[in-house]
Amino acid sequence: MAGNKSAMILGISYAETVVGLIFFTLRFITNWAIVARFRWDFLVASVTVVTQVTAQVFLQLSVNNGMGRHVDTLSAEAQVATLKWSWVFQLLAIAASMLGKLAILAFLIQIRGRHERKPWFLIILGALIAAVNIAVLGTILGQCSPMEKLWDDSLPGTCTPGRKNNQNYSFFQASFNSFSDAVLATYPAHLFWKLQMKLRIKIALSVLMGLGWIAAVCSAVKTYELKALTETTDITSAQPSLLIWASTEAWIVVVVGCVPPIRPLMERILVRLGLSSKKTSTPSHPYNGPSGYQLGSRSMNTNHSQFRSEAYSGKKIINGNDKDLHWVELNNLSNEQIVDRSGHDVVITTDITTHFEDADATRGPSSNDSNASGEDIATRKVL
């Protein structure tokens, strides 16, 4: 039927759902099989995915009842059901987008390392993201009295001035989300540059995290679509674009949040395909010194006190056929393994100079550093 946008809604939204689930599955495999731990940023990301998948179910229900078709072709009952499930989808999509941004912030806070100062910028940004998006959920549900009049205009009651207030606040919320998406797309480049990784890896991660700019564009387009909806009465035919952009924004946030954490798995795949060398980023047998630094690291110097990443410093040591992969994702204390240590015919001697820094100025030396002060230099021979 001409003008029927139902197939477009389902085709795009389901394609995005499949891509998002693939990336999240890769993240789960990475955390379970390689990193061997699940931190709270993963938990927030999990809630995000569950929320958006649930939203997709209600989008399907809305389409089943007539979303995408002209309103004059639908019965009164179909119009009510279509708009009801559409509003449920929009609420869940807003929540998923918010949770996805918070998951990215949680990840950035963890890989940022232990600085002397708390990451107040990220904390405040996260609080604003939560406050702005939770508030819009309230303005949507409270714009009509009774609430059911939101999707059934035949009911007695009023949506004045709630509907106008919701429209105005929704413009602000969408604009703020564009700003926050742009910040989340830009800030990681500044953060990754401080980590001791290869230049190409820094650039690749920065570019991939920069895909968050797509989410920023989605929020901007949603702002325009909200304005367009106020100028038409054929709501079921005009709303599909808004719904698609809402779905796209949520899944883009999920995908962008999964990109850095799945780096260990991608590296293993590239190595097995012969597309990457077997150089590593951390030692296979790390030894934590008195200050918490790994003595197997090539360089212990840092420009920041106690600058170390613990987001994905998993303790699982890969063995068997995977013993050539000894690095752990996003550890700022890196060491490239130039020669495979599994060979018994090669002896590698490395002189390592370690400058210990006291991790707690108020605590005296432990039994492990009773013979070394904060400026002692230890030299080890590693075979």
pLDDT attached to residue 333 = 39
Supply 304's token pair: 């920041």
- Is the predicted pLDDT of residue 262 greater than 50, yes or no? yes
Using one digit for the tens of pLDDT, what is the confidence trace for 126-144? 999 999 999 999 999 999 9
Write the CB contacts of 212 (distance below 8 Å, at least 6 apart in sequence): 104, 181, 182, 184, 185, 252, 253, 256
Using one digit for the tens of pLDDT, what is the confidence trace for 179-224? 998 898 888 777 777 777 777 777 877 777 777 788 888 888 887 8
23 band by pLDDT with thresholds 50, 70 and 90: very high
Using one digit for the tens of pLDDT, what is the confidence trace for 47-75? 999 999 999 999 999 999 999 999 999 99
Question: Are β-strands 377-382 and 350-355 bridged in parallel, bridged antiparallel, or unpaired?
Answer: antiparallel
Q: In terms of pLDDT, which residue wins out, 4 or 172? A: 172
pLDDT attached to residue 313 = 44
pLDDT attached to residue 267 = 81
Mean pLDDT value across the chain: 76
Integer Cα distance of 163 and 320 in angstroms: 63
Beta bridge partners of 381: 351
173 band by pLDDT with thresholds 50, 70 and 90: very high
Measuring CA to CA, which residue among 56, 106, 90, 31 is closest to residue 257?
Answer: 106
Domain boundaries of the chain, sorted by first residue: 6-268, 277-383
pLDDT attached to residue 352 = 53
Structure-token match 């590693």, residue found: 382
pLDDT attached to residue 113 = 61
Assigned CATH topology for domain 6-268: Rhopdopsin 7-helix transmembrane proteins (1.20.1070)
Average pLDDT on 365-376 reads 43
CB 105 within 8 A of CB 122: yes
CB 359 within 8 A of CB 113: no
Average pLDDT on 33-46 reads 90
- Between the alpha carbon of residue 136 and those of residues 72, 87, 97, 252, 379, the distances in Å are 30, 13, 13, 21, 59
116 band by pLDDT with thresholds 50, 70 and 90: low
Integer Cα distance of 97 and 53 in angstroms: 12
37 band by pLDDT with thresholds 50, 70 and 90: confident
Using one digit for the tens of pLDDT, what is the confidence trace for 287-343? 343 333 333 333 344 444 343 444 444 444 444 444 333 333 344 434 333 334 444
pLDDT attached to residue 228 = 67
Q: CA quadruple 316, 272, 211, 19: dihedral positive or negative? A: negative
101 band by pLDDT with thresholds 50, 70 and 90: very high
Say which amino acid occupies 344.
H
Specify the range with the lowest mean pLDDT, choosing from 110-114, 227-231, 314-318.
314-318
Looking at the chain, the whole-number percentage of residues with pLDDT higher than 90 is 42
Average pLDDT on 357-362 reads 48
Looking at the chain, the whole-number percentage of residues with pLDDT higher than 70 is 69
